[in-house]
Structure 1
């Protein structure tokens, strides 16, 4: 057991819901949340309480969406943190468990998305690396049809969120976590590359390689700072976390122009 003192503020389901309402969350809306549990302070009840507070504010008519990414299901030749010996690559490709929307855990997106993934009634899109999970009346329509060769583009939940007028909540997370910016990458002259993963098909497990946009969060922090100066972004505190709330479509539109101007079209960055 840790002997370190707990760091506040102390947050409860009611206090978090009150803070979320004060920031501007509305009943009945569709909300994409990027989050950091530790940024909130000491949460009485842990991540499930955060999810409950979000659902309390959204109400029965609202839909909560989170990234449930699992980027470890990828080509070991691209791994750098840490890399693995080249002698292992063939065996990894042959042995990597195929993506299963019901059981594949999240990776690198925090404990709140993992909690939503396991929430009663949650549904999840079927991309092996960049899935999203959702709870609420619009959940199934948002996650349906996530194409294997479209991580975060027109045939991903991001485009469905844009069509549905969703907003984004950065809850203790920075703009470098804002997946909406990736949708803009698909709408400009972005480089493409091969993307590989293990999937389950009607014929069984297979290692698949598709052609897709080479997504990258490079300079998203700068993009976010520029967006915040020029477009409406509501800022406030939720517990100990800084929160930002804004329209997803607005973020995508701004990112299209900014990326065309500031990111070289010849870049070959790969990402998962």
Structure 2
């Protein structure tokens, strides 16, 4: 079977495409979830990757759960209530645990509808940019179910509780312009230019030392649930490590000498 995640490497940037255009890149098969987990494990080991771009093939980012599978009680939606619970815990819920905790910065290039679990998947990324054709919906309630993959935790931290509640309680779809106004996405660009703009952003990020990027992301993640004094302790430890890297010394030397730095990842 063709992999769900198709990857393409450009220097220190890895583009990852969800590749099920016939289902608008819906998430239902355990194998799809495992591909996300395996990819994140690989990225933890590969220190040469500085940025990941996540996008979808064709005209959709991700349509969420496969509704046909829901109707037929197939994929992760099959079995008894106990089995369903385990399917969620060992299936789609492994994606936020793996992707959200990944130290590599991740850009979601939302190239079309990001619906239900698709919206939540975009929220697991660090930065979201959207084509002007993108659509967003926390639509679980319209199917008589709840956000089962972390959306109730993720979405309020991005758009705030009132707007997250509005999206979750109505299931309404918002367009790219409203997503930008609400802070759900950082930028909206013409659909035809989305991948180019995502790559430009990725290159700006990848121009920095990999160790500093990964530790900065970890601090941002930990800062969401730590006290200030605890975060400062962690920051001091990370900073001590950063000061002893070769890339830090190169950055300082390049700044003083007014030249472009040459980083080695050491």
TM over 0.5: no
TM interval, short-chain normalised: under 0.3
Highest relative contact order (Cα 8 Å, sep 6+), 1 or 2?
A: 1
TM-score (norm. length: structure 2): 0.26
Which is richer in helix?
2
TM-score (norm. length: structure 1): 0.25
Which is richer in strand?
1
